[in-house]
A and B are shown apart, each in its own frame.
Chain A
Amino acid sequence: SQTIHQWPATLVQPVGSPLSLECTVEGTSNPNLYWYRQAAGRGLQLLFYSVGIGQISSEVPQNLSASRPQDRQFILSSKKLLLSDSGFYLCAWSVSLGADTQYFGPGTRLTVL
C-alpha cells in the first residue's frame, strides 16, 4: 500500500531564517505531488505541484519554492521566512493529474516568530 510521509511534524522558525520541508511517498511510482498550505479557518491553498522529477508548477507567487530531486520526494523551501508563512503545510499525491483522488500526508505545522 502507498504511504506518504512528511517531516518535520512541527517547526518553529525565526523570521528571515531558511526553510526546508520534506515529503516522500512510498509504494507507488511516478506520482503527481502537491504542496498545500492550510491557514486556520481557511481552505486548502495549492502552492506547487509536480508531474515528474524536476518539473514544478507554481500556483501562487511567493517567497516559497519547491523541488523534486527524486521521483517520490518533494521539497518545499524558502530562503527567508516571513511571519505570513506560518501555517499547516500539507503534501499530497495522486496517481494521475486530473479527476483523481489526492491523498494527503500528516502535515507540518510551521510557526514563524
Chain B
Amino acid sequence: GESVGLHLPTLSVQEGDNSIINCAYSNSASDYFIWYKQESGKGPQFIIDIRSNMDKRQGQRVTVLLNKTVKHLSLQIAATQPGDSAVYFCAVLSGGSYIPTFGRGTSLIVHP
C-alpha cells in the first residue's frame, strides 16, 4: 500500500519569506497529488493538485513540484503571509485506488 510521510511537522517562517513544505510517498504508481490547507478548527481546503504527467504546476502564490524519480512532492508558498498559518498536508492517489492516502501535515507558523 501507499505511505505518505512528511519531512517536518512544524515550519516557522517570517512574513514575506518563501515557504517550502514537503511530502514523500512510497508507491511509484501514484498518479494524482493534492495539497490541502487546514486552519485550526476548520475542514481542509483544497489548494492545488498535480497529476503524474506533470512536474510543476503553479497557482496564485503557490507552486507544486513533483519529482517522480525520488517520489517527492513539495508545496512552495511565495511571500508567506500571516493568513497562511495553518496545517498543510498532501494527499496521494495511486493508480487503481480510489481512496487517497493523507500525510499527517506540516504546521506552518508565520511570524509578522
State the A residues within 8 Å of B (CB): 6, 41-44, 46, 49, 59, 90, 97-107, 109
Contacts and interface: CB of A to CB of B under 8 A. Distances in A.
Contacts of A98: 93, 98
Q: Which 10 A-B pairs rank lowest in CB-CB distance, beginning with the nearest?
A: A99-B32, A104-B43, A97-B98, A44-B102, A43-B104, A43-B102, A107-B43, A104-B44, A98-B98, A106-B43
B: contact size bracket: 20 to 34
15 contacts: A6-B43, A43-B89, A43-B102, A43-B105, A46-B99, A49-B99, A98-B93, A99-B32, A99-B93, A102-B91, A102-B100, A103-B46, A106-B42, A107-B41, A109-B41
Main SS class of interface, A:
loop
Interface string B6-43: 00000000000000000000000001101010000111
Contacts of A106: 42-43
Nearest to A102: B100
A27 B47 CA distance: 20
Contacts of A43: 89, 102-105
